[in-house]
Structure 1
Amino acid sequence: MSISNEAVAKMVQDHIPDAQVTISGDGYKYEADVISEAFAGLNTLKRHQLVYAAVNDAITAGQLHALTIRAKTPAETA
């Protein structure tokens, strides 16, 4: 059982409301590009933990198996 890219994006946006989220995936491996002010002052590990917290239910349910995360602040993408 897999989860749609849109469902993964909604989970992240529900957890990090100001985030710009782009999810790509094939039903098994997913990539997340997340841009948010919430990442300001956080190291890479803390940023990833914030995103993983958003999708943890899908991971524990076996719907989401692999997630590559690119988490940046808006300033880092400019």
Structure 2
Amino acid sequence: MSTTPELIHGYISAGLACTHLEVEGDGRHFNALIVSPAFAGKRMIQRHQLVYAALGDRMREEIHALSMKTLTPEEYQG
């Protein structure tokens, strides 16, 4: 089964509280805009680690490339 943007959206939203989430991709390479209050006070690497934790083993097995933009709700508004 091919990984779709909708599947990745579901994986992320199930593991991370998001106020806004967009995922686009072609089945191998994906781009995500992730807005979560959990990112407050965290550096970019820490934010990405939260997303990787939500994706779990899928990051190694199903998702070959994921480019992320991670923002707090305040950063997204601004």
Q: Same fold (TM over 0.5)?
A: yes
Cα distance in structure 2, aligned partners of 1:19 and 1:57 = 24
For structure 1, which runs of at least 5 residues remain unmatched after alignment? none
State the number of aligned residues: 77
Q: Larger deviation: 48-57 or 63-72?
A: 48-57
Change (3 A) 1:57 1:19: farther
The answer as to whether partners of 2:19 and 2:73 remain within 8 angstroms in 1 is no
Structure 1 residues 12 and 19: alpha-carbon distance in aligned structure 2, compared to 1, 3 A threshold:
farther
Superposition RMSD on alpha carbons, in Å?
1.3
Q: Which residue of 1 aligns with 2:75?
A: 76
Q: Identity percentage over the alignment?
A: 35
Which residue of structure 2 aligns with residue 30 of structure 1? Answer: 30
TM-score scaled by length of structure 2: 0.89
Structure 2 unaligned regions, length at least 5: none
State yes or no: 1:67 paired with 2:40: no
Amino acid at match of 2:26: D
The normalised TM-score by structure 1 is: 0.89
Q: Is the 8 A contact 2:32 2:67 kept in 1?
A: yes
Query: Deviation above 4 Å: which 4+ runs of structure 1?
Result: none
